Amino acid sequence: MKIFIIISLLLVAPVSVAEVDAETGLIIADGYKVVKKTCTRCHSASNIIQYSGTRLTWLGLIRWMQNTQDLEEFEADKEKQILDYLETNYGPKEAAYRRAHIPSFLMPPNPYRSLATIKFVGLKDHYKLDETLTVDLVIADFPAYSKGRFDLWAAIHLPNKPDDEFVFLKGTASEPLFNSLKPQSFQVSLETVNSTYSVLKNFTIPSVEIGKYVFYAILVEKSANPLTGTDITRSNLAVQTITVGD
Ligand code: HEC
């Protein structure tokens, strides 16, 4: 049985499983020798293996070590080799290493960029069927240097629905529309301001389904789709669960 499992794993495994250096654990690929020689003097390679980021993230980290940790400066060509290696083999986790069928807006945001914080305010944990609820979204800590405009998305996962099915909020708090399964933004083209947005006001919970309702919200770049886009989120994903019952 065990052997059978191993064989089937081998059959479905991706063609190129990266080979790693036995001594350091670094992925063996173009540039790995220069990285091994340059980057494992002060700390082990596990620092590198656990880290991930874009080329800019890596460059920023190298500059930080050069400015504060006595890392020497590199010739342009050597720096390029190092960055090529890091970018290719330890690039951002988001797109490359996660299961593709999970919507990207359910994944943790890229930790190497500052993001606004967003949260639901006003929800209780538990509601009765014909009770009314009022909920706001509060956006705060918007990074001062952020430019551009943003879209706010809000969606609800209803009880007994497939994991990847959401209803998307549209309309206004007093006249909400959320019967659409089609991904769409809730508020468009917001400026970079910290604000409170009314999501639902005195909304009467319809007597359809009891169970768990999960509210989601996220801020993304204008016109971007958080279900398909990568690197477009501009806030954390706000998640709040309520239960509706007797
Ligand atoms: C002169 C010493 C030195 C060299 C050489 C050096 N580093 Fe570092 N590095 C440090 C110090 C000090 C820290 C902070 C303490 C720690 O995490 O071990 C650090 C931290 C790190 C971290 C962890 C950052 C974090 O926030 O978790 C990574 C990744 C890293 N270095 C990558 C590299 C890479 C890539 C190279 C080669 C280009 C390199 N280092 C070469 C001194 C060095």
Cβ(102) – ligand 1 distance below 6 Å: no
- The predicted pLDDT at position 221 comes to 85
CB-ligand 1 contact for 43 (6 Å cutoff): yes
- Rounded distance, CA 133 to CA 215, Å? 13
User: What's the pLDDT at 193?
Assistant: 67
What is the residue with the minimal CA distance to atom 23 of ligand 1? 47
Residue 41 Cβ < 6 Å to ligand 1: yes
The token pair at 105 is 């807006």
Please list, in sequence order, all residues whose beta carbon lies within 8 angstroms of the beta carbon of residue 186, skipping any fewer than 6 positions away.
151, 152, 153, 154, 168, 169, 170, 199, 217
pLDDT score for 35: 97
Residue 52's pLDDT is 84
Residue 90: CB atoms within 10 A of its CB come to 20
One digit per residue, the tens of pLDDT, for the chain of length 246 reads 454 444 444 444 444 567 899 999 999 999 999 999 999 999 999 989 988 888 877 887 888 888 888 899 999 999 999 999 999 999 877 544 444 444 545 544 444 455 788 899 999 999 888 888 888 888 887 766 566 788 889 998 888 888 778 888 888 877 777 767 788 888 888 876 678 888 888 887 766 678 888 899 988 888 888 887 767 778 888 888 999 887
> pLDDT tens digit string along 169-187?
888 877 777 767 788 888 8
Residue type at position 144: A
What's the rounded Cα separation, in Å, for the pair 124 and 134? 10
Tell whether ligand 1 has an atom less than 6 A from the beta carbon of residue 51. Answer: yes
Nearest protein CA to atom 2 of ligand 1, as residue: 42
Q: What tokens were used for 33?
A: 């020798």
In the reported structure, the alpha carbon of residue 65 is separated from the centroid of ligand 1 by a whole-number distance in angstroms of 6
Q: Is the CB of 49 under 6 A from ligand 1?
A: no
* 199 CB within 6 A, ligand 1: no
pLDDT for res 11: 45
Question: Which pLDDT score is estimated for 74?
Answer: 93
